Amino acid sequence: MFWNSLVSEWMKVRKSSLWFLIPVGPLLGLLLGWLNVHTGETHPDAQGQAEVHDWLWMYPQMLGTYAVLFLPLVAGVYASLLCRFEHLNGGWKQLLALPVSRSTLYLTKLVYLLGMLALTQFLWLAGVLIFGLCLQVEGSIPWTELGKSGFSGWLTLVPLAALQLWVATVWKNFGLPFALNVILAIPGMLLLNAEKYRVYYLWSQPYLGMSPTHGGILNLAPISFWLVLGGSLVLVAAGWTHFVKRDVQH
Amino acid sequence: MSEMVIQTQQLTRRYGRQVSVADVNLQVPQGSIYGFLGPNGAGKTTTIRMLLGLIRPTSGRVRLFNQDLEKNRISVLRRVGSLVESPSYYGHLTGTENLKVIARLLGVCDQHVAEVLDLVRLTQAANKQVKGYSLGMKQRLGIAAALLGSPDLLILDEPTNGLDPAGIQEIRELILEMPKQHGITVLVSSHLLSEIEQMATQVGIINEGKMIFQGPMDDLRRQSRPQLVLETERPQDVRNFLQDQGWSVTLEDGLLSLPNADFETSAGVNRELVMAGFSVYRMREVKPSLEDIFLDLVGKGVSL
């Protein structure tokens, strides 16, 4: 049954404009990252002009805007778009009157949301690689660090995505979830330099998880890691149960 | 007594203080076309949503095919096709693709998609995006989707809403075929009696959340008792005269009417008036239309 539901959803997703949106986050992130590398602080060894040295110097410089802002935002946009198929023309009442469990339908949406976020991360890393190769960055490519950064960023997005999916199934309006998303992302930005507090805020985690460090679990402090796992469980469960129990009016 | 496909027991739904559906006992016999009638906002759609498990009753239960809906939602819904209010569709997909999305979830083979499209005469437009469909085509696509799982029960909520007369006629013909050719029981709701009148075998009338009439269409027709209407000189005097004689008579717009039009009454009244010297200009039998009865029932409901 779950497989049928995934295939059914695929037929809707395949022909949608979602695909054009997926590269937008990584591309904007790369653009701002590139600006940052060129105008930002210079390498400690460099004299005068900014110089690009090795990968692990360049990568954190590029990461900021993408991980703090774009990633959480695209999670919300994807969630809204996935639910828009049904919100637009009375799809929920048709879908939920079919002999399919509501859990199956909710988890299908979640799988697609997380899948699209994984694809986004993949595009981001591919973009970083191309960018680095074009700039002829010194040294060998740090595959492990980049892979860990991509995966950890994805994992830290799970609780955010779960909340966004919950909101997107309830709110027909496209702007409301987006506004909520922005409002929740801003403290994440402000907390970036507050090392004491940022480990406790869910919206700061994608940046922390994606920044290559040598400690922690997947770049995360243990408290952050457990916060992400716990937050994922709670928010997935909340959105799921609400979806299963709610009245379908539209 | 034929078997009931839909049975609700004291079905009730409240929104805060407002009672949207109150103690409704729906009885839909197998093989019937059940017309579910009521003015807009009477509780039809809320009831239908409860039949499909889209919203939960505050109290009472729904039984479909003699099974409790809440306990056997999925196995029961496998036998139900539905179309609730405005048509549901994915605008960016073609008609065929729309149905394939549903066919997958129903576990129905794609071959069946072409069959139902043909049944609702959408084969020509099957490969066009649905956002370009007319309302009537979207509504027919919705019916095709409802038929996709080869249901035993079809629940159609206002399927002709917003359609032009030709579209209404087309949907009506489709519905009429269902019990005859496919053995499907149909529940169809409407706020217009005239739409239901020509196809329903059973009727349920709901108003302000309460069921005010339920039974065979013929029973409703039987309620249209003919009246005797008289046109005479000096109608007020005639009324007083007849009332003194013990007839129950009312006067409205210069016309006198009696609630009974059998031979005995007609002959009796006529004889009395002539003997008393009143000129009788006209005597006729008036039969209220079904619409009058419907409005009368609904009106009574309002005054309650």
Interface test with B, best of A87, A94, A95 (most B CBs within 10 A): A94
> Residue B175: is its pLDDT beyond 80?
yes
**pLDDT tens, A163-210?**
999 999 999 888 888 899 899 988 888 888 888 888 889 999 999 999
Confidence of residue A146 (pLDDT cuts 50, 70, 90): very high
pLDDT at A40: 58
Which of the two residues, B265 and B103, has the higher pLDDT score?
B103
- How many CA atoms are closer than 13 Å to the CA of B225, on its beta-carbon side? 10
The answer to the question of residue A42 being in a domain is no
The structural domain count of chain A equals: 1
pLDDT at A214: 67
Nearest CA in chain A to B86: A90
> Residue B302: is its pLDDT beyond 50?
no
Q: Do B77 and A85 touch (CB under 8 A)?
A: no
Rounded to two decimals, the pTM is 0.86
Distance from CA of B303 to the nearest CA of A (A): 29
- DSSP character string of A132-196: HHHHT-BS---HHHHHHHHHHHHHHHHHHHHHHHHHHHH---SHHHHHHHHHHHHHHHHGGG-HH
Confidence of residue A41 (pLDDT cuts 50, 70, 90): low
Least confident range from A37-46, A47-56, A83-92, B102-111: namely: A37-46
Which of the two residues, B304 and B57, has the higher pLDDT score?
B57
> Residue B202: is its pLDDT beyond 50?
yes
- Residue A211 one-letter amino acid: S
pLDDT at A127: 94
The answer to the question of residue A17 being in a domain is no
pLDDT at A233: 97
Read off the pLDDT of each residue in A57-81 and give the average, rounded to a whole number. 91
pLDDT at B301: 47
The answer to the question of residue A25 being in a domain is no
The answer to the question of residue A134 being in a domain is yes
DSSP single-letter state for residue B3: P
Confidence of residue B246 (pLDDT cuts 50, 70, 90): confident
Give A3's contacts in chain B (Cβ within 8 Å): none
φ and ψ of A235, to 5 deg: -75, -35
Q: Which is nearest to A117 in space by CA: A62, A160, A55?
A: A160
> Residue B133: is its pLDDT beyond 60?
yes
> Residue B20: is its pLDDT beyond 60?
yes
Read off the pLDDT of each residue in A131-141 and give the average, rounded to a whole number. 85
Confidence of residue B167 (pLDDT cuts 50, 70, 90): confident
Number of H-type helices and E-type strands within chain B:
11, 15
**pLDDT tens, A203-246?**
999 999 999 886 778 888 888 999 999 999 999 999 999 999 99
Which residues, 6+ apart, have CB-to-CB distance to B47 below 8 Å?
A: B8, B11, B13, B21, B24, B26, B36, B206
Read off the pLDDT of each residue in A71-89 and give the average, rounded to a whole number. 93
Look over chain A and give the mean of its residue pLDDT values, rounded to a whole number: 89
Residue A20 touches chain B, beta carbons under 8 Å: no
Taking a contact as any Cβ pair under 8 Å apart, which residues of chain A between 96 and 115 contact chain B? 96-101
Domains for chain B: give ranges and CATH numbers.
4-221 (3.40.50.300), 226-286 (3.30.70)
Distance from CA of A201 to the nearest CA of B (A): 36
B156: tokens are 């159609």
Residue B75 touches chain A, beta carbons under 8 Å: yes
pLDDT at A52: 57
**pLDDT tens, B207-229?**
889 998 899 988 887 777 788 99
pLDDT at B170: 84
Beta partners for residue B256, in sequence order? B230, B251
Distance from CA of A164 to the nearest CA of B (A): 22
Parent domain of A126: 2-12+50-245
The answer to the question of residue A227 being in a domain is yes
pLDDT at B303: 39
Read off the pLDDT of each residue in B75-86 and give the average, rounded to a whole number. 93
Q: Do B54 and A7 touch (CB under 8 A)?
A: no
Look over chain B and give the mean of its residue pLDDT values, rounded to a whole number: 89
Nearest to A97 among B77, B97, B100 (CB): B77
The answer to the question of residue A26 being in a domain is no
Q: Which is nearest to B189 in space by CA: B34, B11, B65?
A: B34
Does the interface ipTM go beyond 0.90?
no
pLDDT at B85: 85
- Residue A151 one-letter amino acid: F
The answer to the question of residue A173 being in a domain is yes
The answer to the question of residue A43 being in a domain is no
Residue B192 touches chain A, beta carbons under 8 Å: no
Nearest CA in chain B to A99: B74
> Residue B86: is its pLDDT beyond 80?
yes
Distance from CA of A96 to the nearest CA of B (A): 7
Interface test with A, best of B20, B51, B75, B90 (most A CBs within 10 A): B90
pLDDT at B292: 76
**pLDDT tens, B177-192?**
888 888 899 999 998 8
